[in-house]
Structure 1
Amino acid sequence: MTTSPRLAVWGDPIAHSRSPQLHTAAYRVLGLDWVYDRRQVTAEAFDDALAGLDGGWRGLSLTMPLKERAFAAAASVDRHAELTGVVNTLLLGERPAGFNTDVGGIVDALGDDGITGVRSVRILGAGATAASALVASAELGSEHVEVRARRPERAAALIALGRRLGVQVDVDLLDAAPTAVDLTVSTLPGGADLDESVARALSADGGALFDVAYAPWPSALGAVWQQRPVISGLGMLLHQAVRQVRIFVNGDPAAPLPDERAVLTAMRDAL
């Protein structure tokens, strides 16, 4: 008796994840009887949990705080993962392959709102998602990125990454006086406490807002942002998941799925 391939999203916390709905919708359209669920896994438990999977497992989606652990566990990584040092997708097997689909998810989500090129970007936060936002900014043509963080010392890796990408990265405190930019990308966690005066100052000349958070929505920034468009993280969630499905089905995040338009529509409806 052959069992259906298994997949899941792991993270901590994980109950809020919409990945099971997105992936299940995709596999239904593709006619694949695959099982995709969620599991709460801490960073400390990740290695043992991964080692405990049997041959029936095809892949994993990883969210906070497991992306760096997944990078370390991968036998090979794609360029986006290599640049950022994080993996949000593992294609399992004897030699697990790691991918970062967040970069493409950001680019595709911005494209949905007509943003296909930017000159200057401000990134709020200095964690793993900020690295993906920096790579996405470079791919959109930005040559200058400001990083604003509560702890600017955490941004040293982003400065080094900027050098590799040919992007000038300047770092300052979150509440420092802002300068005008074309696009602000907030990688702050959903529900992050942000003083309204700081949020309003950031919005004054912040250009379009792309906020990776989507719950609760609007975020503290989205509620006061003075310029348009204001884009939630649902688009990034959708498009990075499409790339994950491509990986799990085709082994390649750039290889289109059969009838991908219908797959994308079903996934969008599942959000």
Structure 2
Amino acid sequence: MPRTSEARRAGVLGHPIEHSLSPVLHRAAYDALGLEWEYDAHDVTEESLPAFIDALTGEWAGLSLTMPLKVAALPLVDFIEPMAKLVGAINTVLVQPVAEGRQLVGANTDVHGIVAALREGGVQQADAGVVVGGGATATSALAALGRLGVTKPIVVVRSRARAGALMRAATKMGVEPRFVSFEDAPHYLARASAVVSTVPADAGAGLATSLTESTVLDGAVLLDAVYSPLDTPLGLSWERAGGTFVRGTRMLLHQAGEQVRLMTGREAPLASMSAALDQVV
């Protein structure tokens, strides 16, 4: 495709950042759209984030944020979009020109990514859902399940005391989560039509051993937000038990596609982005 616009810059920030697949996705999108844009990974800590953002110039279109910056960036932007404010985390910063210079807008595309990935798996609406984990991604998962109709989700956590941010976000969202232990989780997994796991693969492996054909509903979908390894023990066990396993790369694809749309103003070429992703995972 011929080049259609002036060069701009974007990038992903985090620490560590070497593992990030965001450059693969965004560069594939720019190439398909004919944009002469650059997209690089930058190792940025919470301490160095304010200086990095302060140094952004007009050539920048936006930033993708990964851990541990999704909460740390909140006070550094000028405006936070409603969904990001509800979730209490931003994974996207849009650099928008205004009369006096620039405006930084914080957004959250993780919720969009989770909803789109679950819909790929066949979940258009759900009444019973489970979130495994209590961190920032779990809060986005709670919002995503809410969009699909789950108003009383089950949240599986090791320590309820460490899920304070999720509990506060749930109150703002108008959902009523019930917190259960990992030991009690199989009972609730058996009743769920949509499950989102946000814990590391080894943490989910314990749940994997409890899954049999009798503990997964027909057509039930599990999205594992982890994509390293691509095939997690929990996801594979869910699949063997008769459920549908959606890999974390599908969430990654859709959240990146929404970032591309927000930064460029054009619909993301998801097929091209997906093909590029398939070549590296």
Q: TM-score, normalised by structure 1?
A: 0.89
Q: Secondary structure at the match of 2:233?
A: coil
* Amino acid in structure 2 at the alignment position of 1:239: H
Alpha-carbon distance in structure 1 between the residues aligned to 2:9 and 2:53:
13
Which ranges of structure 2 fall in alignment gaps of 5 or more residues?
97-101
Taking the TM superposition and a 5 Å limit, the aligned residue runs for 1:91-130 are 91-93=94-96, 94-130=102-138
Give the aligned partner of residue 182 of structure 1.
193
- Which of 50, 57, 82 in structure 1 is aligned with 2:85? 82
Alpha-carbon distance in structure 2 between the residues aligned to 1:46 and 1:186:
28
Q: TM-score, normalised by structure 2?
A: 0.86
Give the aligned partner of residue 253 of structure 2.
238
- Which of 22, 26, 38 in structure 2 is aligned with 1:23? 26
Taking the TM superposition and a 5 Å limit, the aligned residue runs for 1:127-146 are 127-146=135-154
Alpha-carbon distance in structure 1 between the residues aligned to 2:161 and 2:91:
24
Q: Deviations over 1:150-205 (max 9, x none)?
A: 2221223333333333322111222235322222110113x434453x33336734
Taking the TM superposition and a 5 Å limit, the aligned residue runs for 1:212-227 are 212-225=225-238, 226-227=241-242
Q: Secondary structure at the match of 1:50?
A: helix
Q: CA RMSD in A?
A: 2.0
- Which of 223, 229, 237 in structure 2 is aligned with 1:210? 223
8 Å CA contact 1:23, 1:267 repeated in 2: yes
Alpha-carbon distance in structure 2 between the residues aligned to 1:79 and 1:194:
31
8 Å CA contact 1:121, 1:182 repeated in 2: yes
- Which of 263, 267, 272 in structure 2 is aligned with 1:248? 263
Residue 58 of structure 1 pairs with residue 57 of structure 2: no
8 Å CA contact 1:22, 1:267 repeated in 2: yes
* Amino acid in structure 2 at the alignment position of 1:266: S
Give the aligned partner of residue 228 of structure 1.
243
Give the 3 Å change call, closer, same or farther, for CA 195–242 of structure 1 in structure 2: closer
Residue 268 of structure 1 pairs with residue 274 of structure 2: yes
8 Å CA contact 1:7, 1:58 repeated in 2: yes
Which ranges of structure 1 fall in alignment gaps of 5 or more residues?
251-255
* Amino acid in structure 1 at the alignment position of 2:43: Q
* Amino acid in structure 1 at the alignment position of 2:273: M
Which stretch of the first structure deviates more once superposed, 67-76 or 124-133?
Answer: 67-76
Q: Secondary structure at the match of 1:95?
A: strand
Q: Secondary structure at the match of 1:59?
A: strand
Alpha-carbon distance in structure 2 between the residues aligned to 1:68 and 1:202:
34
Alpha-carbon distance in structure 2 between the residues aligned to 1:49 and 1:171:
38
Give the aligned partner of residue 192 of structure 1.
202
Give the aligned partner of residue 253 of structure 1.
none
**What is the identity percentage for the equivalent residue pairs of Structure 1 and Structure 2?**
39
Give the aligned partner of residue 170 of structure 1.
178
